[in-house]
Amino acid sequence: MPPFAFKEFLPTVPLQPGVYLMKSRAGEVLYVGKARELRKRLSSYARIDQALHGKTAMLLSQVRLIETIVTNTEKEALILESSLIKQHRPKYNVILRDDKSYPLLKVTVQEQWPRLVMTRRRVKDGARYFGPFSSPSAMWETIRYLNSLFPLRRCKEKSLKPKSRPCLNHQMGRCLAPCADKVSREEYRELVDNVLLVLDGKNQQLVKELSRKMAQASAELRFEEAAQLRDRINSLNKTLEKQQVVAAHGKDQDVLGFARQEASVAVALLFIRKGVISGQQAFYLADPVGTDAEVLTEVLSRFYWEEGRYLPQEILLPFAGTDDQLLADWLSEQRGGSVAIACPQRGDRVRLLEMAEANARQLLVARKTRQTSWQGLAGGLQKVLGLARLPERIECLDISNLNGKQAVGSLVCFVGGEPAKDRYRHYGIHTVEGPDDYAMMDEVLGRRFAKGLTEGDMPDLLLVDGGKGQLGVAMQALADLGIPGTVELAGIAKEKVEEGEKLYRPGRKNPIILERHSLVLLYLMRIRDEAHRYGITIHRRLRAKEGLTSSLTQIPGVGKARTELLLRELGSRQRIAQAGVGELAAVAGIGPALAAQIWQHLHENKADG
């Protein structure tokens, strides 16, 4: 294919700030960028030395159309760029996929009686979020610690239903039972404020306030209350001793470490709150487009664009990015206060940068070790199964149904030896009635391969759960599309418990039987088990949806149309079940009387269950 004609295109591009979208022949957005001067930025691509810029050259070889959107200011271009990247998720932009899904702590301050809960998503719901926690065990330890000091309610309901008798948690001293009116609103809110102080890193401030209250309680002869406050103070002091103070100024800082190894880049962010390290997050970028300064700026833009992201007072960088002042102005607007971006050259802040860089280097070492291990395992897979090439991308299909009802096909994907959860898919069964797993598998694989053929998106190996019969279905699905043999296929089945797992391949009469502790077998079993787990999760979700729909449609005045309306407005079945009467009544077409009926019906059913 001929390269994009920059020479003819550039004279038509304005010398103004804006955003550009590079697209493929099929119209797919490959890359989104912004520029202070569009023509100047795009002309730099025409001068790319393809021998020196691997991934950039690969991008340009696929570009067939460039669209530009002019903005009034560079800041508007920055905001529009971030929005378009979030919308299109172009494969050549920096998309921050963490090696792990770090948990967060959430204090539901928007609720009448707030709770402390774990979550993995930030949303704009008015709650306060803390984290991410790099260690889930440390996060749960924090929850247990805070619950022991400040016993907030643990029930899941957003709005409490009054009870005549509190639950077991109250009897065990783990909850103050606001549901049974055992605590005043003021006293409960004070506990919530104390939890927020601890999570904000303001332990010393809290200790001073509790010490003052303890002295007051003692002076007024309220010795039981004073003893309780004393125990909280002692516990907080022990925590303060364990905290690693890295800065005396008490600021909130994010410190970015950057490390490159050949084409790969690792970025580590240390979160420092009130001078104490509170956590870290790391990202691996296989071969990002652009110079180190451009990659650094894009990482910052993507990271802080995430909804609900906490913004510190200061961000420390190892070297200058391309738009530091522009980013600082934008983030300051979002924070409602100053956000400084600095590249310190001396002093304690350089020590923090060195610590962050060490974490980034460690990620590269870990990835290299993992990659080497995967190359060995992939070579073993290729040899054992007789594959034509290394199976870099493996997919596995599971069919879940209950006597043929609520059937769903669940497809999981592993890339480079690890789950690629953004590529997991589930398929509803449309053409098969009754319990016919072969026909269901044929329908799902036909749809999967047809789409993959159109988009050029096929796995290196498709694994099916089953023996010769299931393998034959997969082979026929490829043959029906006129592409037999284009995807490597394998089946894994345990036909008799005492015989263990057997592997099946097309064209081979007898199964492949490996040692029980073979790394190749264990890896394929892991993929198959993940497909089972994902299938069960989707199946449960479908049953829960059908159960709630069935329950709601039993209420006079609530049919399928109003059930769909509730789902659309409140977002999920769980939200409907948790909503109060007022929230239900606010949905168009429901009204107060019907809302009361819905609430009563759902909660009566819950109590009966």
Q: What integer pLDDT is reported at residue 342 of this predicted model?
A: 94
DSSP assigned state of 152: -
Q: Which phi and psi (to 5°) does residue 561 adopt?
A: -65, -45
534-566 pLDDT, tens per residue? 888 877 776 666 555 556 666 776 777 777 777
What distance separates the 2 farthest-apart alpha carbons in the chain? 88
Domains contained in the chain, CATH given: 6-88 (3.40.1440.10), 104-242 (no CATH), 253-364 (3.30.420.10), 393-540 (3.30.420.340), 554-608 (1.10.150.20)
The pairing of strands 461-465 and 425-428 is unpaired
Mean pLDDT to the nearest integer, 448-460: 89
pLDDT beyond 90 at 464: yes
State residue 152's pLDDT score.
87
Cα 316 versus chain centre, distance: 25
Query: Per-residue pLDDT averaged across 460-483, rounded?
Result: 92
Of 471 and 500, the structure prediction assigns the larger pLDDT to 471
**Count, residues in the chain:** 609
Q: Is the pLDDT of residue 448 over 50?
A: yes
pLDDT surpassing 50 at residue 607:
no
Residue 398 CA to its chain's centroid (Å): 23
Separation of alpha carbons 222 and 220, rounded Å? 6
Can you tell me the mean pLDDT for 500-518?
89
Using alpha carbons, select from 608, 609, 585 the residue that is nearest to residue 597. 585
pLDDT of residue 147: 81
The more confident residue out of 608 and 117 is: 117
> Cα-flanking dihedrals φ and ψ of residue 412, to 5°?
-110, 160
> 255 is written with which tokens?
């410190």
Question: Per DSSP, what are the bridge partners of residue 269?
Answer: 256, 281
Omega prior to 132 cis, within 30 of 0: yes
Angle in degrees, 0-180, between the axes of helices 223-242 and 136-149, rounded to the nearest 10: 160
Count of other CB atoms within 10 angstroms of residue 73: 13
pLDDT cut 90: percent of the chain above it = 30
| Confidence check: pLDDT of 499 > 80 | no
The pLDDT tens digits for 379-413 are 999 999 999 999 999 999 988 866 556 678 899 99
Name the least confident of 355-369, 468-482, 493-507.
493-507
Residue 20 DSSP SS3: strand
User: Which residues on neighbouring strands pair with residue 410, listed in sequence order?
Assistant: 398, 426
Q: Which two tokens stand for residue 322?
A: 């391309």
Tell me the pLDDT of the chain averaged across its residues: 83
Mean pLDDT, rounded, for 503-531:
92
Task: Give dist(CA 546, CA 552) in Å, integer.
Answer: 10
For residue 552, what pLDDT is reported?
67
| CB contact at 8 A, 290 and 301 | no
The reported pTM is: 0.64
Distance CA 369, CA 408 (A): 37
pLDDT of residue 99: 47
Secondary structure element (H or E) that encloses residue 581, with its range: helix 581-585
Is the per-residue pLDDT at 63 higher than 70?
A: yes
Model confidence pLDDT, tens digit, residues 163-219: 778 787 777 777 888 888 888 888 899 888 888 887 776 667 777 777 888 888 888
Q: Point out which residues pair with 29 in neighbouring strands.
A: 23
| Cβ atoms of 131 and 102 closer than 8 Å | yes
The pLDDT of residue 370 is 85
Tokens 């199976």 locate to 391
pLDDT for the residue 466? 87
Confidence of residue 446 (pLDDT cuts 50, 70, 90): very high
Q: Could you please report the per-residue DSSP string of 326-351?
A: HHHHHHHHHHTS--EEE---SSHHHH
Handedness of CA 568, 572, 577, 582 (dihedral sign): negative
pLDDT given at position 296:
93
Residue keyed to tokens 């200061």: 314
Question: Of all residues in the chain, what percent carry a pLDDT higher than 70?
Answer: 86
